[in-house]
Structure 1
Amino acid sequence: MPGYAADVVDGQIAIDVPASPLFWFEGYHGAPEGTAERFSPDGRWYLTADTGSVDEDGYFQFTARDDDVILAAGYRIGPFDVESVLITHPSVVDVAVVGRPDPEGVRGEVVEAFVVLADGAQDGPELHAELTALVRDGYSRHAYPRRIHVLDALPKTPSGKVQRYLLRSL
């Protein structure tokens, strides 16, 4: 966008404050700790909490919200990446992925998927095995969902964003 300069700093998309004359955010009112979390120690970078990358042509690729990244067995797993694989299954019409504490206490977190099925699709162990294999074999062996939940609909905001915090509380 004109008036803004950005880059990736420590895996996060960041705004270069001195090089962005239209950037006006100075911090959270009455919350110096929250403000400190959003800016680099030298104040140069505003850290958006969006993980991503930038290619050699300057195009940004959004990966996930930093607070949605799943830390499983030492791997950083972006929910969007797993969701992008699961949605390709013909029985799945909507999907969201979250991290939950590993019940065995070994992995840190485990990947859990919440899916909405197409009309006529059947839930059951066969479908769960197909979805697990789709991610494990087609994307990454460490990112497959350990549990899959079928819902009638995903909880969303009025603007259509999935409310992951509600899924984590189910």
Structure 2
Amino acid sequence: LSSQRGPDNFSHGISKLSQVSGQEHHNFQKSILAVIMGVEDIDPWVIWTIQAFLDFIYMAQYPLQSEDTLCDMSTQLDIIHDNISIFIDLGACSDMDHLNIPKLYSLPQSIDNTCYNGVSLNFTTETMESLHIPMCRDLYNASNCCQYEVQMLHLLNMHEWVQFWSTYLSW
């Protein structure tokens, strides 16, 4: 990006961004497609996928949703999921061979939530993320740190069965 000062300036690039504000997200969204389209020999699937992602984000922010807008959001989501591997194939994620990003997987839930609960303003995954960290930490500390994934899953299953049994006994 250019070195000019202004609302859309990311002087250290976007890969160094952390704890980004909503305004910075908005500025990034305004400029990302134009920047990508300016790259020579860009794969059209990259442009199409980013455009679908931006369309989904903006449609999710509508104050009112109809069956048509939810169908359009679902179509955009299908485009995203069908083409997301293009970023790995082109080496955009040099240190990863996957795109297992929790917020990416929570996108279909926003459509379901809108269908069942209405438009949810200011929906975030912050609650899931804030619960995820202490729950995993507690389960990890309860393991012997060897093959901890298997032990953590076993502890979760045991906890679930205790809850089922408690519900049965109280019934």
TM-score above 0.5, yes or no: no
Bigger proportion of residues as helix: 2
- Give the TM-score of the pair, scaled to structure 1: 0.27
- Give the TM-score of the pair, scaled to structure 2: 0.27
Larger Rg: 2
